[in-house]
């Protein structure tokens, strides 16, 4: 009887692929086995030829939709046996070989589980035994990456291993006709993890369904509830209560940056925000990200407290992720909730239950301050008033993902739960040759840090960690690095980092390289990083890495590309700070072709927080010291403006030899936009990264098309895009009381027009728009929808974050590029 072996590669574990195959094989009358292996899912089949044919024909349609099969191998086993039928079995996993299967990602509750969770029959009786069980999951949904200890994905290698299934759950697990057949997270109220509500004094108030009901009541009463989601805590408050939102902002240390909300379903979202088809898809996808949407101008049925988004007309919305979120919203009749990352701004996400221990009033149980209970008399010392948590341990903390639809494509703003780790596809020609046997880790940048790695056969981009300003976030970065290396069994021969020598990640790469040459035991007393082979380090220029990330995303790594890398700031190769670059990139080679006209950041980092300083510098450069001195900016002392102008009259310093407070020269597009925002809107201070630029984009009237003038100038060694005519037009428009919405639109169009002029100088090259500035929808769409661009290949942001969150992917691609490749 014929026998074959089929191997499925790709994202094939964690979504019920094996059970689906077992069911199909049984239907087709085939004997055999299926097992997870580190290279994928391996199927062995024995049966009559027509039955095998039927299996092949139905295979792809029988697989769960979350499965992403990238390749299928088939070999003939030619077993001539006529042994009696043995049926079809799911075998224990095979652990040999390097981890080469894609990591399963966390998935939001599926439609079938939602029905079981919430539906009652006409008799008012629950239709399923998991009715009201907040942690319901199945083969197709539930946490995966966040609870996996090691691959392949099996219950024994997850944090579910401590829960012994009850007889009913055990029966489902072995019944091929059950939809929880071989569900590794299978559990119920009787045997699984349990939800509880813990009060601010550390006492458990309620458990199970009652805990959810109590938490809902607390939210209605204006309390802040710490809800343990899939990858960590979320702070939850009623989004319609101004005082509650205000209190959350104060405690979280986030004065103005918009907060995300959770709404019950897509129809409710549509009553609040304008929804394009791609936005609908993103909202209801299994990844369940926060989707950035434009609010409807008319006040609909949902009235959010003004404090949720402040002056921004956009809003970040997500649908309920788990049964727990659904039940909470049901108790609140679908009332909108603020659901934001469970941390203090700047600190890493909290993910371990760590509420105050029970204590008599005014004193801790043991008199020793604990984390989270640091000041007894400060009512704001702890962020949450009570905690809705569970005992399904989170092994890999992961934040909520954020996406935005830009130029018709879903662009990842924050790569996290449901999207990470993201498999990266390197050109097949690269993998066979010089990359064989290599293992490489790319460290990312400083803001929005994330790690990418190559394990010898596959490359992935790990989840968002955070900004590495804060010591606790640096610790989380080290923890994340260690756990990814362990999960993928990587011992790198090269640590790739940003060319900025002072980034935490650059210093760490250097330290790890030096350590590997001398001591085999990792660094210091910190995490146990595997550095037991001689490793090198490799520095990659910031914007080169941005362009390479986009090339990787587009499948352009073997081509020569014109990259438009516009962002905040990155270390240039000429002693200045770059950020408005046009680079010609081919693998490891990168040439600066053009840039924005440089300008001065007076006070260095201070100019980031005080964009009015940039406004003065732009006007000084465009119209001279007299006009700049006469500028009127709300709340800014004219003397302060005069002092900035005096400093602008002196030459700039080399940023490498000076403190961060000194004046530096930059081509940063992000800072340029900040300056225009400060001039036009009178935004003098910035509370968070890119705030002025985001507000500037948000107020623009995008129906206004004609750009202000901008000029392309030939100079040595690079072309310069001269924005001084644009500044002059803005000053005129302000004097003539032109509405800010029109000025903002025409400035965006001017910058887009300038980009197109540069692109036209290189008509044969595909164009990669990258860097944080292209998260600006207005700017990106103004570039791609221009008639000159319609015939060009222009890549816009996609799955790999175009901000520094995707930097590691680009660093990895450059490190693995052949030294020479055909042009």
Residues that bind Zn ion (CB under 5 A): 110, 113, 138, 141, 166, 169, 188, 190-191
User: How many Cβ atoms from other residues are within 10 Å of residue 428's Cβ?
Assistant: 7
Minimum CB distance to Zn ion smaller for 184 or for 458: 184
Work out how close the CB of 301 gets to Zn ion at its nearest, in angstroms, rounded to a whole number.
30
Minimum CB distance to Zn ion smaller for 183 or for 515: 183
CA distances from 240 to 257, 788, 790 (A): 17, 46, 44
User: How many Cβ atoms from other residues are within 10 Å of residue 185's Cβ?
Assistant: 24
Work out how close the CB of 41 gets to Zn ion at its nearest, in angstroms, rounded to a whole number.
20
Minimum CB distance to Zn ion smaller for 63 or for 188: 188
Work out how close the CB of 169 gets to Zn ion at its nearest, in angstroms, rounded to a whole number.
3
Minimum CB distance to Zn ion smaller for 188 or for 484: 188
Beta bridge partners of 428: none
Which distant-in-sequence residues (6+ apart) come within 8 Å of 699 by Cβ? 313, 681, 740, 741, 744
Work out how close the CB of 107 gets to Zn ion at its nearest, in angstroms, rounded to a whole number.
8
Residue with tokens 């840039």: 595
Residue pair 11/66 in contact by the 8 Å Cβ criterion:
yes
Work out how close the CB of 73 gets to Zn ion at its nearest, in angstroms, rounded to a whole number.
30
Beta bridge partners of 43: 6, 34
Work out how close the CB of 129 gets to Zn ion at its nearest, in angstroms, rounded to a whole number.
8
Half-sphere exposure of 453 (CA within 13 A, CB side): 26
Q: What share of the chain is helix, strand, coil (3-state, %, to 5)?
A: 35, 20, 45
Which distant-in-sequence residues (6+ apart) come within 8 Å of 523 by Cβ? 511, 512, 515, 529, 531
Minimum CB distance to Zn ion smaller for 108 or for 452: 108
Residue pair 497/540 in contact by the 8 Å Cβ criterion:
yes
Minimum CB distance to Zn ion smaller for 180 or for 355: 180
Work out how close the CB of 151 gets to Zn ion at its nearest, in angstroms, rounded to a whole number.
22
Spatial distance between the Cα atoms of 517 and 374, rounded to a whole number of angstroms: 42
Work out how close the CB of 139 gets to Zn ion at its nearest, in angstroms, rounded to a whole number.
7
Provide the pairing of β-strand 3-11 with 31-37. Answer: unpaired
The CA dihedral of 300, 306, 307, 310, to the nearest 10 degrees, is 100
CA distances from 280 to 268, 270, 275 (A): 12, 9, 6
Minimum CB distance to Zn ion smaller for 4 or for 138: 138
Work out how close the CB of 15 gets to Zn ion at its nearest, in angstroms, rounded to a whole number.
10
Minimum CB distance to Zn ion smaller for 138 or for 622: 138
Provide the pairing of β-strand 459-461 with 422-424. Answer: antiparallel
Beta bridge partners of 721: 596, 712
Minimum CB distance to Zn ion smaller for 135 or for 547: 135
Spatial distance between the Cα atoms of 550 and 562, rounded to a whole number of angstroms: 11
Work out how close the CB of 186 gets to Zn ion at its nearest, in angstroms, rounded to a whole number.
7
Minimum CB distance to Zn ion smaller for 185 or for 726: 185
Work out how close the CB of 114 gets to Zn ion at its nearest, in angstroms, rounded to a whole number.
8
Minimum CB distance to Zn ion smaller for 169 or for 398: 169
Residue pair 807/542 in contact by the 8 Å Cβ criterion:
yes
Work out how close the CB of 267 gets to Zn ion at its nearest, in angstroms, rounded to a whole number.
22
Residue with tokens 């990200």: 289
Of 788, 406, 804, whose CA–CA distance to 566 is shortest? 804
Work out how close the CB of 160 gets to Zn ion at its nearest, in angstroms, rounded to a whole number.
12
Structure tokens at 620: 């000084």
Work out how close the CB of 106 gets to Zn ion at its nearest, in angstroms, rounded to a whole number.
12
DSSP string, 284-306: HSTT--EEEEEEPSS--S----G
Query: What is the three-class DSSP state of 712?
Result: strand
Q: HEC profile for 46-85? A: ECCHHHHHHHHHHHHHHCCCCCEEEEEEEEECCCCCCCCC
Q: Is the dihedral of CA 502, 508, 513, 514 positive or negative?
A: positive
Of 592, 566, 548, whose CA–CA distance to 755 is shortest? 566
Minimum CB distance to Zn ion smaller for 168 or for 469: 168
Minimum CB distance to Zn ion smaller for 191 or for 761: 191
Minimum CB distance to Zn ion smaller for 185 or for 667: 185
Query: What is the three-class DSSP state of 6?
Result: strand
Work out how close the CB of 349 gets to Zn ion at its nearest, in angstroms, rounded to a whole number.
25
Work out how close the CB of 403 gets to Zn ion at its nearest, in angstroms, rounded to a whole number.
22
Query: What is the three-class DSSP state of 316?
Result: strand
Query: How many residues are recorded in the chain?
Result: 823
Work out how close the CB of 92 gets to Zn ion at its nearest, in angstroms, rounded to a whole number.
21
Structure tokens at 297: 């101008």
Minimum CB distance to Zn ion smaller for 172 or for 663: 172
Minimum CB distance to Zn ion smaller for 65 or for 298: 65
Counting DSSP H helices and E strands in the chain, the numbers are: 23, 32
Work out how close the CB of 104 gets to Zn ion at its nearest, in angstroms, rounded to a whole number.
14
Residue with tokens 């602008």: 648
Minimum CB distance to Zn ion smaller for 110 or for 594: 110
Spatial distance between the Cα atoms of 811 and 815, rounded to a whole number of angstroms: 6
Of 439, 543, 516, whose CA–CA distance to 812 is shortest? 439
Query: What is the longest distance spanned by two Cα atoms in the chain?
Result: 97
Minimum CB distance to Zn ion smaller for 138 or for 794: 138
Beta bridge partners of 293: 315
Residue pair 77/391 in contact by the 8 Å Cβ criterion:
no
């Amino acid at each position: 009887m014929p026998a074959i072996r089929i191997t499925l590669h790709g994202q094939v574990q964690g979504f019920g692929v094996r059970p689906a195959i077992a069911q199909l094989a049984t239907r087709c009358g085939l004997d055999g086995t299926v097992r997870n292996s580190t290279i994928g899912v391996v199927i062995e089949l024995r049966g009559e030829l027509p039955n095998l044919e039927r299996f092949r024909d139905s295979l792809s349609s029988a697989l769960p939709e979350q499965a992403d099969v990238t390749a299928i191998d088939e070999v003939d086993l030619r077993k001539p046996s006529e042994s009696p039928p043995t049926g079809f079995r799911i075998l224990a996993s095979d652990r040999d070989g390097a981890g080469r299967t894609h990591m399963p990602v966390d998935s939001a509750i599926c439609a079938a589980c939602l029905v079981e969770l919430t539906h009652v029959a006409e008799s008012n009786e629950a239709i399923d035994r998991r009715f009201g069980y907040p942690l319901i999951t199945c083969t197709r949904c539930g946490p995966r990456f966040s609870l996996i200890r090691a691959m392949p994905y099996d219950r024994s290698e997850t944090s579910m291993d401590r829960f012994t299934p009850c007889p009913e759950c055990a029966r489902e697990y072995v019944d091929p006709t059950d939809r929880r057949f071989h569900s590794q997270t299978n559990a119920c109220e009787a045997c699984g993890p349990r939800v509880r509500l813990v009060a601010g004094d550390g006492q458990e108030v309620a458990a199970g369904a009652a805990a959810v009901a109590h938490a809902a009541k607390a939210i209605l009463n204006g309390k802040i509830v710490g809800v343990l989601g899939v990858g960590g805590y979320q702070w939850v408050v009623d989004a319609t209560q101004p005082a509650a939102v205000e209190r959350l902002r104060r405690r979280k240390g986030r004065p103005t940056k918009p907060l995300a909300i959770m709404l019950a379903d897509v129809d409710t979202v549509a009553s609040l925000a304008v929804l394009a088809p791609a936005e609908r898809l993103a909202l209801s996808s299994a990844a369940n990200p926060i989707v950035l949407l434009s609010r409807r101008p008319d006040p609909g049925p949902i009235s959010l407290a003004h404090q949720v988004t402040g002056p921004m007309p956009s809003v970040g919305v997500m649908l309920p992720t788990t049964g727990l979120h659904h039940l909470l919203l049901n108790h609140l009749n679908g009332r909108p909730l603020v659901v934001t990352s469970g941390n203090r701004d700047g600190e890493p996400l909290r993910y371990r239950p760590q509420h105050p221990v029970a204590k008599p009033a005014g004193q801790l149980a043991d008199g020793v301050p604990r984390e989270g209970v640091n000041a007894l008399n400060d009512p704001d010392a702890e962020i949450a008033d009570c905690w809705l948590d569970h005992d399904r341990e989170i092994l890999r903390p992961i934040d909520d993902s954020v996406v935005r639809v830009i130029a018709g494509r879903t662009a990842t703003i924050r790569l996290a739960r449901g999207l990470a780790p993201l498999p990266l596809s390197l050109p097949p020609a690269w993998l066979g040759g010089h990359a064989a046997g290599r293992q490489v880790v790319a460290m990312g940048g400083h803001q929005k840090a994330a790690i990418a790695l190559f394990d010898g056969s596959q490359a992935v981009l790990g989840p968002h960690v955070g900004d590495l300003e804060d010591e606790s976030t640096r610790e989380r970065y080290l923890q994340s690095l260690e756990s990814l290396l362990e999960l993928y069994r990587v011992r790198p021969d090269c640590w790739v980092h940003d060319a900025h020598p002072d980034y935490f990640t650059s210093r760490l790469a250097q330290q790890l390289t030096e350590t590997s040459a001398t001591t085999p035991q990792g660094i210091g007393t910190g995490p146990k990083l595997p550095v037991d082979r001689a490793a090198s380090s490799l520095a990659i220029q910031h914007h080169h890495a941005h362009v390479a990330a986009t090339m990787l995303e587009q499948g352009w790594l073997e081509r020569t590309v014109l990259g438009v890398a516009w962002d905040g700031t990155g270390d240039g190769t000429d002693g200045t700070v770059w950020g408005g670059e046009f680079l010609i990139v081919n693998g490891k080679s990168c040439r600066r072709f053009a840039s924005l006209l440089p300008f001065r950041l007076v006070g260095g980092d201070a100019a980031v927080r005080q964009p009015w300083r940039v406004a003065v510098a732009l006007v000084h450069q465009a119209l001279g010291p007299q006009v700049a001195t006469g500028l009127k900016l709300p709340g800014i002392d004219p003397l302060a403006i005069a002092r900035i102008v005096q400093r602008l009259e002196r030459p700039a310093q080399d940023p490498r030899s000076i403190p961060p407070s000194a004046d530096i020269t930059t081509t940063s597009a992000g800072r340029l936009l900040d300056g225009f925002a400060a001039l036009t809107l009178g935004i003098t201070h910035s509370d968070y990264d890119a705030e002025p630029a985001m507000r500037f984009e948000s107020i623009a009237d995008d129906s206004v098309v004609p750009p202000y003038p901008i000029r392309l100038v030939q100079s040595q060694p690079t072309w310069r895009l001269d924005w001084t005519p644009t500044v002059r037009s803005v000053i005129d428009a302000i004097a003539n009381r032109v509405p800010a919405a029109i000025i903002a639109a025409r400035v965006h169009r001017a910058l887009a027009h300038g980009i197109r002029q540069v692109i036209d100088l290189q008509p044969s090259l595909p164009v990669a728009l990258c860097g944080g500035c292209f998260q600006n929808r207005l700017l990106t769409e103004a570039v791609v929808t221009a008639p000159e661009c319609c015939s060009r290949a222009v890549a816009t942001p996609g799955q790999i974050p175009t901000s520094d969150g995707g930097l590691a992917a680009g660093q990895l691609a450059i490190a693995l590029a052949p030294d020479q490749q055909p042009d």
